[in-house]
Amino acid sequence: MNGKIVELTGNTLTIEQVVETIRHGNSISLNENSLARCRASRKVLDDKIAEGQVIYGVNTSFGPMCNKIIHIEEIERLQINLIRSHAAGLGDLFPEEIARATLLIRLNTLVKGYSGVRIELLEFMAKMFNAGVSPVIPSQGSVGASGDLIHLAHLGLGFIGEGTLICNGEEKPAAEVLASVGLEPFHLSYKEGLAIMNGTSAMTACACFALYDSQQLLTASIATASFAMEIFGGIDDAFDPDLHGLKPHPGQVAIAEAVENMIAGSKNITFRHEVHDAVRKDEQSGVVYETETTVQDVYSLRCTPQILAPVYETIRYNRTVIECEMNSSNDNPLIIPEKNKIIHGGNFHGQSISFAMDSLRIAISTLCNLSERRLNKLLDRNLNEGLPENLIPENAGLTMGFMGSQYLATSTTAENRQLASPMSVNTISSNESNQDVVSMGTVSARLALRSVENAKHVITLEFLADLQALTFRHSGGLGEGTGKVYAKASKEYVQYNNERVFRNDLLKFRKLLFETDLLG
């Protein structure tokens, strides 16, 4: 862990804090005011139990068996049985950064102070996180209705010293890993197993990283759109602020402004008056004459602001959804210490995250559609306005240039179109029909992560094609923004001539685009 500490209050965690805490190895601490509410919440629960009140999941069983009342002597064993029975996930494991984010977000939810858990559990979770111990969470299982039950059961399994945990990159038996960092398996009290499991923290962790990386994708898409304008000498008025003021969707205005800033000062852009002059030079007698001059650019250039507008707006809106969820109390029942009451409800339901991730996958698919068409324009000799076919420097036929790599963009764009199908409408009743309407939010968020990773492939390939095209023309007169990006990128790029494996370029520039400040 590094020296930076993020304080968890239950109310102020941001997407950037989650991602940076995980990726940069930040430590966490627990806010004292929040802990005071946690103590008050636990006291209310203790008092209600002492009074003999019936409280779901504390002295009752779960789901459709909630009418089975559990004897006071067995209510702690009930929590262990819940975790063991629901640790039933399969499939690939969550990436470690998603698993750690799940732990972080769950802790932030519990420290909010309405779940009735003891301070000892919160401190245990914080120590485990700060020691670099990661839960082992299978990716498949939950329906996102009573929260991420399966995923979070695997989280809780590590707490009690069962299953496995990861430390220093090695997966080992949980009790062994805990002992190596000076921790003992945690003994759960009543309500605590349920509080760990009954929430949306796994889907929110996936959504958090999907949204963060989507913002990077949008930035990269603006850059590649701007390079396309430079390479093809795009006509300037498609980005005129007066045009977008007449259809002022916030995303449309923002994207147009961003591209304008990138190409400002360019010597490659075509101005509308130049189009008029060129057409007049082609004038011939007769009713109709044809000009070789482009009067309007294709949609993948000209309509970039309109196409990316809802992508921008979806990302912006989804930020509010995800940050609301990660700072919410989303288990059941919840305790309001200020009012001395316990409320049974359904804050564990993941419909908001499910909708958000459905819309994000549609947005990312749209971004891919745009990128793939611009790539095709660069490679197709019938469309690329004089560039070499497939951007081949020499010996076309003997060498293939970008021909093979285009299949990567085509196939992943097609896959993302399939992934854009909504999950939030695919409810299937389960749990003896107690969970009769479920969100599938965890599935939706997992698919969003996959969609984002696919989109990175497409954008990386388009960016490489831009760099290759600029080795043939227009690299000397770039705009302010495009010039800065090209100055950095061109130091890393050598014209592709079939003398190296293309995948190596893809790996290198994918990392440069999404793990450095190349576009910053």
Q: Which are the catalytic amino acids? A: 56
**Cβ–Cβ < 8 Å for 34, 8:** yes
Rounded Cα gap, residues 478 and 468, in angstroms: 15
Instruction: Read off the amino acid at residue 315.
Output: I
Burial class of residue 487 (count of CB atoms within 10 Å of its CB; 0-12, 13-18, 19+)? exposed
Query: Which two structure tokens, joined as six digits, stand for 313?
Result: 């707006």
**Cβ–Cβ < 8 Å for 58, 128:** no
User: How far is it between the farthest Cα atoms of the chain?
Assistant: 100
Find out whether the peptide bond into 333 is cis, omega within 30 degrees of 0.
yes
Torsion of CA 314, 239, 387, 477, to 10 degrees: -120
Rounded Cα gap, residues 173 and 151, in angstroms: 18
CB atoms inside a 10 Å sphere around CB 293: 15
**Cβ–Cβ < 8 Å for 102, 135:** yes
Q: What is the DSSP string of 382-436?
A: TTSTTPPGGG--S-BTTB-TTTTTHHHHHHHHHHHHHHTS-STT----BTTTTB-
Rounded Cα gap, residues 445 and 102, in angstroms: 13
**Cβ–Cβ < 8 Å for 61, 78:** yes
